[in-house]
């Protein structure tokens, strides 16, 4: 086979991903058709967009010359709410996640507990924060308490899943060694698992803190308190300079949380 | 936090919950027929938005990566600023802004998803670029290749798997996020959710939730499948 | 010139009056960190000569090789490739000079996710236009040459394999083919055998030596294995702390010379495999510069 080809001495690059040309063409053609259909289904009111460009420009101006003053009280109240929700929900989330995470680890938990914890995790993870917030606002009324519950619920799914995976990834030799000393289940968790998982748990909690702050600035849009509500109001009233100020504050806090959490994580490991 | 909460509502919550739960069931299955079009829109918002985001993210990532940026003191901070701005603002907030600026509809949703995706994709991509094997770059440079050829031959082959993985991962997240963008008027399933919520049609809300969960599960499966194929 | 004073023998016995391909004139390199890598290096390499560059780790071997094709910027001094002054070039002119110098790397430095053929053809990058290289549509002559070279290095059938499917020795063969695909006037090799087992190392060195003979191609091979260097090089340059402390034929590499390059060690054990030498006699033929 190769002999024939080398004697011809031509060379074309072999396809990188899809080796079978039929598959390649089907997927290429399919994507092209999809793109045409998808783009044609987007109805755009170009006049409205054109009008909006001016407003967009105003927003950019507002972003560049933010107005921190005129709505400062609202912004401050929103921020305090957001930060409170972030901290309390992360703390509550971690506290509840630890037992659920242990329960969802196959190497530690008995089958029924494992199934129960896993389904709890799946439930928490399949709905995003906003949807949970809508339901909880309907039940608990407007305000940060619904937001706190939302973020706690979301944190549980996130933290328990990753924690369970960590525990399952633990060095089984260490667990066996502790078990061999005649330690009970609780002692095994305390000695063999905790020491291995602790740094990761700290890292995950900080990471979740970061996510919770970002989310806390959003769920206000559906009435769950925090700076999102303030932002929503500002945009509704076309107060782009105040909106710009809020966005800048959010970006700044996200940056601070992200950098300090990555710093602490490195320090913890 | 406590002072702004009306505790009467909290105390009332169990009754409210059972009330809403009662109204959510049984789901109004007939409503499903009205959801195919919004579902298609949601899919398009996520896919086209991802496409736009990825296309813009590629140059941004190359400008932000320490080993490919043309200038460390000017261009790189600019690129990092774009990434940070895009990443810190949730797509729902982007949608809120864009609906206010260019009006409600799919376009606002697509642009919102696109803007949010730039930072995510560019960040992971520039980290991948910074982790490449510099020996391969040096070897291609030693043949007398130009800057563009070095990128084409030494850098792109090394980051291509990461690139596909990141893009599909973001598409998966975007499907999730685009289901709710309609809440602020940016089209898709969220629009139906908003109208059902405002008319307190909880049995329709159930159907929408189920469609959202099904979509998310399918997209997660597709993305896991594709990622396994490219890596 | 000072180098003539330092070592007349090189030019009388080894170069045989052949045309000089590469000439280094008082080349120095100081890194930004203040580390002085090279000090006042001067020598020239005639066509077809295989030079083994030996010296302890950190002596500046790698910096020296990389200064020649300007992957590392020299701090002072000049380098001539034929008539071209390499140290003065930049941009396009530098790339056009680089394509005249083939380079072989320690860890092969193949682009692992590209095919063998693409790796070999990448040796033409300095010659072809951007769109040709992007579409992988190389001129037929380049492809013919690439097939020929793969045949020569013994990998005729592997052209469409991905580079990371090959063994270490095979990868280094592709690396050699890539360097030769440039139609270079000079070959640089940076520890080409460092990642290979002893047998493959010898095969690779024999291959490099062979192609250099066939093409009358000069080479500078940076190598830490003294025995390999002695067996396959025409000339040995010893580097210590960034300075040339030995320059002569492999046979002149006496215990005293090795001690001067590497410091004190029981060199009998190192040299067991090479032919027995009359150290005292050979030493007198090569000038060894003692460090202060």
A32: domain range? 17-65
Structure confidence at residue B91 (pLDDT): 86
- CB contacts of C151 in chain A (<8 Å) are 6
Q: Which residue has the higher pLDDT, A19 or C259?
A: C259
- Residues near C51 by beta carbon (within 8 Å), at least 6 away in sequence: C45, C218, C219, C220, C221, C233, C234, C235, C236, C237
SS3 label, residue A129: helix
CA A195, A197, A199, A202 torsion-angle sign: negative
- CB contacts of B115 in chain A (<8 Å) are none
Q: How many angstroms separate the CA of residue A258 from the nearest CA in chain B?
A: 10
CA proximity to C185, closest of C116, C126, C250, C247:
C126
Tell which B residues from 50 to 89 touch A, by Cβ distance under 8 Å.
Answer: 84-85, 87-89
Q: How many angstroms separate the CA of residue A11 from the nearest CA in chain C?
A: 7
Peptide bond into B215 cis (omega under 30): no
- Residue C271 is encoded by which pair of tokens? 């040299």
Share of chain C above pLDDT 70, in %: 85
Question: pLDDT class for A238, splitting at 50, 70, 90?
Answer: confident
- Residue A130 is encoded by which pair of tokens? 């906003």
For the stretch A33-63, pLDDT in tens is 999 988 888 877 788 778 888 888 888 887 7
Domain check: are A111 and A226 in the same one? yes
- CB contacts of A134 in chain B (<8 Å) are 193, 197
Name the residue among A126, A243, A255 with its Cβ closest to that of B213: A126
Average confidence (pLDDT) over A200-212: 85
Share of chain B above pLDDT 90, in %: 27
Domain check: are A21 and A136 in the same one? no
- Contact (Cβ atoms closer than 8 angstroms) between residue A240 and residue A61: yes
Structure confidence at residue B112 (pLDDT): 92
Q: How many angstroms separate the CA of residue C136 from the nearest CA in chain A?
A: 7
Name the residue among C117, C156, C157 with its Cβ closest to that of A11: C117
B130 burial class (0-12, 13-18, 19+ CB within 10 angstroms)? middle
- Residue A254 is encoded by which pair of tokens? 């996200």
Mean pLDDT of all residues belonging to chain A: 81
Domain check: are A60 and A190 in the same one? no
| C165-171: Cβ within 8 A, 24+ apart | C166/C116, C168/C108, C168/C195, C168/C196, C168/C197, C168/C200, C169/C196, C169/C200, C169/C203, C169/C204, C171/C108, C171/C110
Question: Does residue C17 register a pLDDT over 70?
Answer: no
Q: Does A76 touch chain B (CB under 8 A)?
A: no
Structure confidence at residue B155 (pLDDT): 92
Distances (CA, A) of A91 to A103, A158, C231: 19, 13, 70
Nearest Cα residue in chain B from C107? B135
Strand partners, C101: C186
Question: pLDDT class for A202, splitting at 50, 70, 90?
Answer: confident
SS3 label, residue C273: coil
Q: Measured in whole angstroms, how far is the alpha carbon of residue C89 from the centre of its chain?
A: 21
Q: How many angstroms separate the CA of residue B1 from the nearest CA in chain A?
A: 6
Question: Does residue A190 register a pLDDT over 80?
Answer: no
Q: What is the DSSP string of B98-160?
A: HHHHH-SSHHHHHHHHHHHHHHHHHHHHHHHHHTS-HHHHHHHHHTT--HHHHIIIIIHHHHH
Q: How many angstroms separate the CA of residue C291 from the nearest CA in chain B?
A: 33
Residue A1 domain-assigned (yes or no): no
Q: Under an 8 A CB cutoff, do C109 and B136 touch? A: yes
CATH 3.40.50.2300, domain B32-230, yes or no = no
For the stretch B6-30, pLDDT in tens is 566 666 767 777 777 777 778 777 7
Average confidence (pLDDT) over A64-77: 80
Strand partners, C219: C50, C187
Rounded CA separation C44/C26 (Å): 11
State the total domains in chain A: 2
Residue A169: give its domain's CATH number. Answer: 1.10.3720.10
Q: Lowest-confidence range among A124-133, C116-125, C192-201?
A: A124-133
Residue A5 domain-assigned (yes or no): no
Question: Does residue C15 register a pLDDT over 50?
Answer: no
Rounded CA separation B42/C69 (Å): 54
CA proximity to B223, closest of B161, B180, B156, B173:
B173
Q: What is the DSSP letter of A189?
A: I
Q: What is the DSSP letter of C162?
A: B
Question: pLDDT class for C5, splitting at 50, 70, 90?
Answer: very low
Q: Does C141 touch chain A (CB under 8 A)?
A: no
Q: Under an 8 A CB cutoff, do A10 and C159 touch? A: no
Domain stop point among A29, A50, A65: A65
Give the best residue of C122, C164, C186, C220 to mutate against chain B (max B CB count within 10 A).
Answer: C122
Q: Which fold has domain C47-69+89-285?
A: Rossmann fold (3.40.50)
CA proximity to B140, closest of C120, C88, C183:
C120
CA proximity to C260, closest of C277, C279, C240, C286:
C240
For the stretch C97-111, pLDDT in tens is 888 999 999 888 888
Subunits next to B (3 or more Cβ pairs <8 Å) are A, C
Domain check: are A61 and A76 in the same one? no
Cα distance between the two ends of chain A: 55
Angle between helices A194-216 and A72-103 (to 10 degrees): 150
CA C287, C288, C291, C292 torsion-angle sign: negative
Q: Under an 8 A CB cutoff, do B149 and C123 touch? A: no
Interface predicted TM-score (ipTM) over 0.90:
no
Tell which A residues from 95 to 124 touch B, by Cβ distance under 8 Å.
Answer: none
- Residues near A249 by beta carbon (within 8 Å), at least 6 away in sequence: A75, A79, A227
| B219-226: Cβ within 8 A, 24+ apart | B219/B46, B219/B171, B219/B172, B219/B175, B219/B176, B220/B172, B222/B168, B222/B172, B223/B168, B223/B169, B223/B171, B223/B172, B226/B164, B226/B168
Residue for token pair 């420009």:
A57
Cβ contacts below 8 Å, chain B against chain C, sum to 80
Q: What are phi and psi of B55, to 5 degrees?
A: -60, -40
- Contact (Cβ atoms closer than 8 angstroms) between residue C98 and residue B150: no
* Residue A87: CA count within 13 A, CB half-sphere: 6
* Residue C235: CA count within 13 A, CB half-sphere: 26
Q: Does A19 touch chain C (CB under 8 A)?
A: no
Average confidence (pLDDT) over A135-140: 81
Q: Lowest-confidence range among A199-203, B57-61, C22-26?
A: A199-203
- CB contacts of C140 in chain A (<8 Å) are 9-10
Rounded CA separation B159/C22 (Å): 37
Residue A44 domain-assigned (yes or no): yes
Structure confidence at residue C6 (pLDDT): 39
Residue A9 domain-assigned (yes or no): no
C-alpha angle C200/C150/A1, rounded to 5°? 115
Domain check: are A39 and A153 in the same one? no
Question: Does residue B58 register a pLDDT over 90?
Answer: yes
- Residue C284 is encoded by which pair of tokens? 């007198």
Domain stop point among A26, A44, A65: A65
Q: Under an 8 A CB cutoff, do B143 and C123 touch? A: yes
Structure confidence at residue B125 (pLDDT): 93
Torsion of CA A132, A137, A139, A145, to 10 degrees: 100
Residue A3 domain-assigned (yes or no): no
Question: pLDDT class for B147, splitting at 50, 70, 90?
Answer: confident
Residue A2 domain-assigned (yes or no): no
Cβ contacts below 8 Å, chain A against chain C, sum to 25
Share of chain A above pLDDT 90, in %: 5
| A87-90: Cβ within 8 A, 24+ apart | A87/A209, A88/A148, A88/A152, A88/B1, A89/A147, A89/A148, A89/A149, A89/A150, A89/A151, A89/A152, A89/A155, A89/A212, A89/A216, A90/A151, A90/A155, A90/A205, A90/A208, A90/A209, A90/A212
For the stretch C232-250, pLDDT in tens is 989 989 888 888 888 888 8
Q: Under an 8 A CB cutoff, do A59 and B97 touch? A: yes
Name the residue among A81, A139, A255 with its Cβ closest to that of B16: A139
Average confidence (pLDDT) over C70-79: 88
Question: Does residue A135 register a pLDDT over 90?
Answer: no
C-alpha angle A43/A239/B194, rounded to 5°? 45
Question: Does residue C75 register a pLDDT over 70?
Answer: yes
Question: Does residue B183 register a pLDDT over 70?
Answer: yes
Tell which B residues from 140 to 159 touch A, by Cβ distance under 8 Å.
Answer: none
Structure confidence at residue A256 (pLDDT): 86
- CB contacts of B90 in chain A (<8 Å) are 214-215, 217-218
Structure confidence at residue B7 (pLDDT): 62
Q: Does C57 touch chain A (CB under 8 A)?
A: no
Nearest Cα residue in chain B from A31? B47
- CB contacts of C123 in chain B (<8 Å) are 143
Question: Does residue C285 register a pLDDT over 50?
Answer: no
Q: Does C115 touch chain A (CB under 8 A)?
A: yes
Nearest Cα residue in chain A from C151? A6
Q: Under an 8 A CB cutoff, do A232 and B96 touch? A: yes
- Contact (Cβ atoms closer than 8 angstroms) between residue B148 and residue B62: no
Q: Under an 8 A CB cutoff, do B5 and A145 touch? A: yes
Q: Under an 8 A CB cutoff, do C125 and B148 touch? A: no
Domain check: are A171 and A203 in the same one? yes
Structure confidence at residue B118 (pLDDT): 94
Domain ranges of chain B: 32-230
- CB contacts of C144 in chain A (<8 Å) are 9
Strand partners, C46: C20
Average confidence (pLDDT) over C256-283: 61
Average confidence (pLDDT) over A76-87: 85
Average confidence (pLDDT) over C243-269: 80
Structure confidence at residue A183 (pLDDT): 75
Distances (CA, A) of C145 to C17, C181, C182: 31, 7, 10
Domain check: are A42 and A84 in the same one? no
Rounded CA separation A262/A265 (Å): 5
Q: Under an 8 A CB cutoff, do C140 and A10 touch? A: yes
Structure confidence at residue A32 (pLDDT): 92
């Amino acid at each position: 086979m190769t002999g024939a080809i080398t004697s011809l001495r031509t060379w074309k690059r072999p396809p990188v991903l899809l080796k079978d040309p039929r598959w390649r063409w089907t997927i290429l053609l399919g994507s092209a058709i999809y793109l045409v259909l998808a783009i044609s289904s987007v109805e755009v009111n170009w006049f409205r967009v054109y009008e909006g460009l001016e407003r967009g420009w105003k927003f950019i101006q507002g972003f560049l010359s933010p107005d921190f003053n005129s709505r400062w009280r609202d912004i401050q109240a929103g921020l305090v709410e957001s930060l409170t929700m972030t901290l309390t929900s992360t703390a509550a989330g971690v506290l509840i996640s630890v037992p659920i995470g242990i329960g969802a680890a196959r190497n530690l938990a008995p089958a029924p507990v494992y199934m129960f914890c896993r389904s709890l995790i799946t439930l928490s993870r399949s709905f995003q924060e906003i949807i949970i917030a809508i339901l909880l606002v309907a039940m608990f009324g407007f305000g940060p308490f619904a937001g706190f519950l939302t973020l706690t619920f979301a944190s549980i799914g996130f933290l328990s899943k990753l924690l369970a995976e960590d525990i399952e990834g633990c060095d089984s030799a260490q667990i066996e060694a502790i078990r061999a000393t005649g330690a009970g289940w609780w002692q095994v968790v305390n000695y063999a698992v905790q020491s291995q998982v602790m740094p990761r748990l700290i890292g995950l909690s900080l990471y979740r803190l970061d996510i919770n702050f970002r989310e806390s600035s959003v769920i206000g849009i559906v009435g769950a308190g925090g700076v999102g509500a303030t932002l929503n109001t500002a945009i509704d009233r076309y107060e782009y300079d105040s909106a710009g100020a809020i966005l800048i504050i959010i970006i700044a806090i996200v940056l601070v949380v992200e950098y300090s959490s990555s710093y602490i994580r490195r320090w913890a490991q | 936090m406590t002072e702004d909460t009306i505790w009467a509502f909290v105390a009332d919550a169990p009754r409210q919950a059972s009330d809403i739960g009662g109204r959510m069931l049984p789901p109004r299955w007939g409503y499903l027929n009205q959801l195919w079009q919004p579902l298609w829109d949601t899919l398009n918002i996520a896919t086209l938005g991802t496409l736009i985001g990825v296309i813009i993210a590629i140059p941004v990532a190359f400008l932000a990566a320490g080993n490919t940026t043309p200038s460390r003191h000017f261009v790189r901070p600019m690129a990092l600023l774009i990434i940070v701005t895009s990443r810190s603002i949730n797509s729902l907030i982007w949608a809120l802004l864009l609906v206010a600026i260019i009006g409600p509809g799919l376009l606002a949703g697509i642009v919102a998803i696109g803007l949010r995706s730039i930072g995510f994709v560019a960040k992971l991509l520039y980290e991948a670029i910074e982790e490449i094997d510099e020996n391969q770059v040096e070897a291609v440079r030693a043949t007398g290749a130009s800057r563009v050829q070095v990128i084409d031959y030494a850098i792109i082959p090394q980051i291509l798997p990461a690139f596909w993985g990141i893009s599909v991962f973001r598409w998966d997240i975007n499907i999730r996020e685009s289901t709710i963008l309609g809440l602020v008027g940016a089209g898709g399933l969220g629009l139906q959710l908003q109208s059902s919520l405002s008319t307190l049609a909880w049995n329709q809300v159930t159907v929408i939730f189920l469609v959202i969960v099904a979509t998310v599960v399918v997209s997660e499966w597709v993305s896991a499948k594709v990622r396994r194929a490219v890596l | 010139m000072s180098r003539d004073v330092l070592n007349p023998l090189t030019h009388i016995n080894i170069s045989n009056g052949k045309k000089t391909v590469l000439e280094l004139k008082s080349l120095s390199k100081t890194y930004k960190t203040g580390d002085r890598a090279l000090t006042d290096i001067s020598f020239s390499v005639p066509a077809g000569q295989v030079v083994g560059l030996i010296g302890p780790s950190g002596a500046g071997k790698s910096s020296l090789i990389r200064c020649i094709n300007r992957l590392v910027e020299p701090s002072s001094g000049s380098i001539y490739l034929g008539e071209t002054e390499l140290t003065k070039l930049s941009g396009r002119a530098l790339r056009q000079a680089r394509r005249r110098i083939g380079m072989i790397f320690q860890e092969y430095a193949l682009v692992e996710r590209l095919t063998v053929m693409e790796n070999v053809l990448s040796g033409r990058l300095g010659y072809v236009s951007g769109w040709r290289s992007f579409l992988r549509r190389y001129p037929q002559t380049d492809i013919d040459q690439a097939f020929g070279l793969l045949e020569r290095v013994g990998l005729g059938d592997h052209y469409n394999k991905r580079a990371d499917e090959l063994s270490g020795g095979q990868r280094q063969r592709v690396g050699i083919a890539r360097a030769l695909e440039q139609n270079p006037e000079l070959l640089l090799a940076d520890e080409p055998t460092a990642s290979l087992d002893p047998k493959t190392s010898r095969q690779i060195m024999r291959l490099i030596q062979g192609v250099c003979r066939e093409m009358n191609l000069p080479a500078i091979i940076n190598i830490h294995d003294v025995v390999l260097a002695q067996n396959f090089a025409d000339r040995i340059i010893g580097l210590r702390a960034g300075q040339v402390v030995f320059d002569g034929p492999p046979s002149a590499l006496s215990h005293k010379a090795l001690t001067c390059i590497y410091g004190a060690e029981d060199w009998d054990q190192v040299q067991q495999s090479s032919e027995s030498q009359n150290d005292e006699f050979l030493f007198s033929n090569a000038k060894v510069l003692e460090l202060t």
